């Protein structure tokens, strides 16, 4: 018996014997993941089909009641806010972390350890205390808020929203240029498709930012005051406050994996890029950024996943108008004692996290297969040419 590749097929027992060592080594983590990750996840999904008991527990029998009541009109906006806040926080964290990691990897060994120490220093203080500190900083009576609310007259036209928006648009512009450029620099169908998809997302994000800005600007014109932040618009208890605190909190989680990747990066490649005519910024985005791709992936996971599930930050600086799904899950599970409902929200969040990457993976895997096939055909075609026209063989023939 042979499998598709022509290797003899092994019986199960032989295969277990063959991989015995690996199995023994991975068994503990496999069991751990099964009992403390897969089983609880299954339980969460199961609970969504259970009725609620009047005393706050879980009733017997099966029902779809929870899934019907979950179509609360508040939820779509909360889910949407959760997603955009998390995605923007992730993008900002990585945008800030990339140059940091680059600079850290380029300094001398002595400074490097100092800088890594500084990055992880905040962890020595309790997370709650640090969020409380932000509450004080952003409080309406704090110096920051008063300064930002001062009427600046004509100078106030460069208000915070504008600056932020221009920064965001500038970032989106840079990203688009980078993506367009990567699209030009890559010749595989897979690479081009990935660039095109990310480019579409970037443009959509930029358009949405522009829409927000129009709303801000008209509100400011309506109020007739030109301060950096419009009067009556608090710094605390809104989405912006959540964003600031999230970026602050998750930045180390972006810096550390990127720094680990940057440390392994071969900086001679940057010199090679300069040598081939790239300006320094171009060399950074076209050679350094793809070179730490693995670090970017893990930074995305390290920031996006906790950001999507965060509930302490929206609870403390978000307020009732800027809730995230994490805080809703907390409300359903603890004060309301409605476990099926909380489970359903968790399941929704999990699906929301897993489905888009799953689709992307399926799409790109297919594209990739397509690309390899054409590559094979192409290479076959040209290598068969080579046999006839290669200068070497003819020269040898002529010599003998």
Partner 1 sequence: MDDFLVFKGVTKRFGAMTAVDDVTFNVKRGEFFSLLGPSGCGKTTLLRMLAGFERPDAGRIFLDGKDVTAMPPDKRRVNTVFQNYALFPHLTLWDNIAFGLRLQRRPKDEIEERVRRMLRLIQMEGQEWKKPTQISGGQKQRVAIARALVLEPQVLLLDEPLAALDLKLRQHMQIELDRIHDQVGITFLYVTHDQGEAMSLSDRIAVMNRGKVEQIDKPAALYEAPRSSFVAAFIGDTNFFEGTVTKLVDENYCRVSVEDFGEIVCFNDKHIKAGAKVYLSVRPEKMHLTHEKPADLHGGKVNVYECTVDQKIYQGAYTRFWVWRGASKDDCWELSVMQVHNRYLLDQQEIGWDEKVWLSWHADDGFMLESYAEQDEAMLPHPTEEASDAGAAPAPAPAPAGAADAEAAK
Q: Which stretch binds partner 1 (CB under 8 A): 129-137, 180-188, 309-317, 361-369?
A: 180-188
370 lines the binding site for partner 1 (CB under 8 A): no
What DSSP designation does 38 have? Answer: I
The burial of 350, by beta-carbon neighbours within 10 Å (0-12 exposed, 13-18 middle, 19 or more buried), is given as middle
Tell me how far apart the alpha carbons of residues 290 and 286 are, in angstroms, rounded to a whole number. 7
291 lines the binding site for partner 1 (CB under 8 A): yes
Minimum CB distance to partner 1, residue 261 (Å): 12
Minimum CB distance to partner 1, residue 353 (Å): 27
Confirm if 281 and 293 have CB atoms less than 8 A apart.
Answer: no
- For partner 1 (CB under 8 A), the number of binding residues is 34
276 lines the binding site for partner 1 (CB under 8 A): yes
Query: Which lies closer to partner 1 via its Cβ, residue 291 or residue 326?
Result: 291
Which residue in the set 9, 68, 110, 279 belongs to the binding site for partner 1 (CB under 8 A)? 279
**DSSP assignment of 192-241, as one string?**
HHHHHHHHHHHHHHHHHHHHHHHHHHHHHHHHT--BSS-TT--SSSSHHH
368 lines the binding site for partner 1 (CB under 8 A): no
C-alpha count within 13 angstroms, C-beta hemisphere, residue 164: 15
Look-up of token digits 């040598």: 275
Q: Is the dihedral of CA 332, 337, 339, 340 positive or negative?
A: negative
Cα→Cα distances 229→88, 102, 157, 232, Å: 21, 34, 10, 9
Q: H or E segment at 377?
A: helix 339-389
Helix 75-106 to helix 293-309 angle (10° resolution) is 140
Minimum CB distance to partner 1, residue 150 (Å): 44
Cα→Cα distances 184→6, 187, 189, 280, 366, Å: 40, 7, 11, 18, 21
385 lines the binding site for partner 1 (CB under 8 A): yes
Query: Which lies closer to partner 1 via its Cβ, residue 266 or residue 336?
Result: 266
226 lines the binding site for partner 1 (CB under 8 A): no
277 lines the binding site for partner 1 (CB under 8 A): yes
Q: Which stretch binds partner 1 (CB under 8 A): 31-39, 223-231, 263-271, 311-319?
A: 263-271
Minimum CB distance to partner 1, residue 303 (Å): 23
Q: Which stretch binds partner 1 (CB under 8 A): 20-28, 279-287, 334-342, 358-366?
A: 279-287
214 lines the binding site for partner 1 (CB under 8 A): no
Query: Which lies closer to partner 1 via its Cβ, residue 151 or residue 275?
Result: 275
Positions 316 through 345 that interact with partner 1 (CB under 8 A) = none
Minimum CB distance to partner 1, residue 186 (Å): 6
- Among residues 324, 318, 321, 361, the alpha carbon closest in space to that of 87 is found at 324
In degrees rounded to 5, what are phi and psi of residue 2? Answer: -135, 155
Cα–chain-centroid distance for residue 251?
A: 12
Q: Which stretch binds partner 1 (CB under 8 A): 65-73, 200-208, 241-249, 280-288?
A: 280-288
Which residue in the set 13, 73, 293, 320 belongs to the binding site for partner 1 (CB under 8 A)? 293
Rg (alpha carbons) of the chain, rounded to whole number: 27
Which residue in the set 110, 268, 321, 399 belongs to the binding site for partner 1 (CB under 8 A)? 268
Interface with partner 1 (CB under 8 A): 184-188, 266, 268-269, 271-280, 282, 287, 290-291, 293, 375, 378-380, 382-383, 385-386, 390-392
């Amino acid at each position: 018996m042979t499998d598709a590749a022509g290797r003899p097929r092994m019986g199960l027992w032989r295969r277990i014997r063959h991989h015995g060592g690996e199995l023994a080594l991975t068994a503990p983590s496999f069991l751990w993941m099964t009992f403390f990750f897969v089983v609880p996840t299954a339980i969460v999904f199961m609970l969504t089909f259970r009725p609620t008991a009047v005393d706050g527990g879980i009733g017997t029998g099966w029902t779809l009641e929870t899934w019907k009541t979950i179509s609360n009109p508040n939820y779509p906006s909360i889910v949407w806010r959760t997603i955009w806040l998390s995605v923007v926080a992730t993008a900002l964290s990585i945008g800030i972390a990339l140059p940091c990691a680059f600079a850290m990897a380029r300094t001398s060994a002595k400074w490097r350890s100092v800088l890594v120490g500084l990055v992880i220093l905040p962890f020595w203080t309790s997370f709650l205390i640090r969020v409380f500190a932000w509450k004080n900083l952003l409080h309406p009576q704090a110096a920051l808020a008063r300064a930002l609310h001062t009427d600046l007259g004509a100078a106030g036209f460069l208000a915070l929203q504008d600056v932020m928006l221009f920064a965001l648009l500038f970032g989106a512009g840079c990203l688009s240029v980078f993506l367009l450029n990567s699209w030009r620099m890559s010749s595989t169908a897979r690479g081009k498709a990935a660039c095109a998809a990310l480019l579409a997302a970037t443009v959509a994000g930029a358009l949405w930012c522009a829409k927000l800005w129009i709303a801000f600007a008209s509100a400011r014109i309506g109020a007739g005051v030109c301060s950096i932040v419009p009067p009556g618009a608090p710094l605390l208890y809104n989405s912006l406050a959540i964003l600031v605190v999230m970026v602050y909190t998750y930045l180390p989680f972006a810096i550390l994996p990127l720094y680990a990747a940057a440390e392994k990066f071969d900086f001679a490649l940057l010199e090679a890029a300069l040598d081939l005519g790239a300006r320094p910024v171009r060399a950074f985005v076209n050679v350094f950024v793809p070179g730490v791709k693995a670090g970017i992936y893990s930074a995305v996971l390290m920031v996006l996943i906790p950001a999507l599930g965060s509930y302490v930050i929206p609870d403390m600086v978000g307020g009732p108008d800027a809730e995230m799904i994490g805080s809703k899950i907390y409300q359903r599970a603890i004060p309301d004692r409605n476990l099926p409902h909380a489970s359903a929200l968790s399941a929704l969040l999990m699906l929301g996290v897993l489905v888009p990457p799953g689709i992307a993976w399926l799409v790109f895997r297919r594209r990739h297969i397509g690309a390899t096939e054409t590559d094979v055909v192409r290479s076959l075609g040209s290598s068969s040419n080579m046999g006839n026209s290669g200068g070497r063989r003819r020269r040898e023939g002529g010599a003998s």
